[in-house]
């Protein structure tokens, strides 16, 4: 029997590389997409580090979310598509279309090429940002029936981009011409866990800032956390599980405040000579600092808010047994030291 080929978009990304590693371990051939050949060797080396010789089993195609060139060639011969690529800015952009347009257009380009190539199923990486924002005073946990309210207060460009891109994907699949295609969507929370390269993702930035002295005190922020290895496992399960077609999955475990994250990593990082902040900033101070720090401005709608997630669907349908948030956080911190992103002082 011929080995099935899976195309993974955004192969230089944090989630995508873990997906590629697990696909290779499961015996699939993998084609990764990159915007240019510049990062191909870096990605091969990262994959080799996890799966010896695995870098040689990945082919690469060069496409851009904002352009049509190369998509048909990239998709040719692939059975499954994991569309992971999407912009995730550290700071709120001056023009939100810089984030929204490539997210929406890229999702549609990938799906259109998949339709032309006869791809059996697409798994789209969305986000809890497409589920849990713009709802003030929400008491019950969020689940797969919820969508972020784009007319609500303080919706970031990123939350808009993930919501609109996911809705565009569901609309595409629902048209009569595309009804033979299958779609499943993974909606991760704050993705932690071990990094594979020193080029870290935006989701790791809070840890980097805590460990490198850029965050001298802790804002009152809380996010549902998930380990990147469990996010990748969810993608691969959603790719082949018959019942996953047509479903979206809240992909997170426990909610952690930044103070919880600090408490988890404080002693292990002290062994590396790294001091992490323990003091909690009052909300008014964060709002004041945000006047001078664009990266803080995007966090203001989250101050003091805890959003809980119901993850029963992903556990049941995908037989998902994730690591705890503490294990994900510790693995992330240790890997930041191991890859030299944060320098050990002892």
| Pairs from 203-206 (Cβ < 8 Å, separation ≥ 24) | 203/14, 203/88, 204/14, 204/332, 204/336, 205/90, 206/258, 206/261
Burial-class residue 325 by CB neighbours within 10 Å (0-12, 13-18, 19+): buried
| End-to-end Cα spacing for the chain | 53
Choice among 120, 162, 297, 343 that is catalytic = 162
In DSSP notation, 288-340 reads HHHTT-HHHHTTGGGTT----B--HHHHHHS---PPPHHHHHHHHHHHHHHTT
Distance, in Å, from the CA atom of 288 to the CA atom of 306, rounded to the nearest integer, reads 21
3-state secondary structure 219-243: CCCEEEEEEHHHHHHHHHHHHHCHH
Token look-up 């048909």 returns 72
Do strands 121-125 and 80-83 pair parallel, antiparallel, or not at all (unpaired)? parallel
Rounded to 5 degrees, what angle do the CA atoms 342, 212, 208 make? 70
Asked if 47 and 58 touch (Cβ cutoff 8 Å), the reply is yes
Residue 204, burial from CB neighbour count under 10 angstroms (0-12, 13-18, 19+): buried
User: How far apart (Å, rounded) are the C-alpha atoms in residues 326 and 320?
Assistant: 17
User: Which bin fits 308, alpha (ψ -120 to 50), beta or left (φ > 0)?
Assistant: beta
162 is catalytic: yes
The set of catalytic residues is 162
């Amino acid at each position: 029997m011929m080995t099935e080929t899976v195309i993974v978009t955004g192969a230089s990304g944090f989630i995508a590389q873990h997906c590629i590693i697990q696909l290779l371990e499961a015996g699939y051939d993998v084609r990764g997409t990159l915007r240019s050949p510049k990062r191909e060797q870096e990605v091969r080396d990262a994959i080799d580090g996890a799966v010896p010789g695995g870098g040689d089993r990945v082919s690469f195609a060069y496409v851009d979310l904002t352009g049509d060139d190369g998509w048909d060639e990239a998709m040719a011969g692939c059975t499954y598509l994991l569309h992971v690529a999407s912009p995730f800015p550290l700071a709120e952009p001056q023009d939100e279309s810089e984030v929204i347009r490539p997210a929406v257009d890229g999702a549609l380009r990938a799906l259109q090429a998949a339709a032309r190539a006869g791809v059996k199923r697409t798994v789209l990486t969305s986000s809890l940002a497409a589920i849990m924002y713009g709802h003030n005073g929400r008491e019950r946990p969020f689940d797969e029936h919820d969508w972020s309210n784009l007319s609500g207060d303080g919706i970031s460009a990123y939350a808009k981009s993930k919501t609109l891109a996911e809705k565009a994907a569901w609309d595409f699949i629902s048209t009569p011409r595309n009804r033979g295609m299958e779609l499943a969507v993974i909606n991760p929370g704050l993705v932690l866990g071990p990094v594979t390269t020193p080029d870290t993702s935006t989701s790791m930035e809070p840890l980097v800032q805590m460990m490198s002295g850029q965050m001298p005190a802790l804002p009152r922020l809380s996010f549902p956390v998930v380990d990147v290895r469990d996010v990748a496992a969810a993608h691969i399960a959603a790719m082949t599980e018959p019942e996953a077609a047509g479903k979206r999955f809240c992909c997170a475990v426990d909610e952690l405040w930044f103070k919880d994250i600090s408490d988890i990593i404080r002693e292990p990082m002290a062994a590396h000579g790294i001091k992490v902040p323990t003091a909690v900033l009052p909300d008014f101070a964060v709002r004041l600092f945000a006047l001078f720090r664009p990266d803080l401005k995007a966090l203001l709608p989250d101050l003091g808010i805890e959003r809980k997630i119901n993850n029963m669907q992903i556990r049941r349908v995908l037989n998902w047994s994730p690591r705890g948030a503490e294990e994900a956080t510790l693995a992330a911190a240790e890997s930041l030291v191991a890859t030299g992103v944060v320098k050990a002082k002892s």
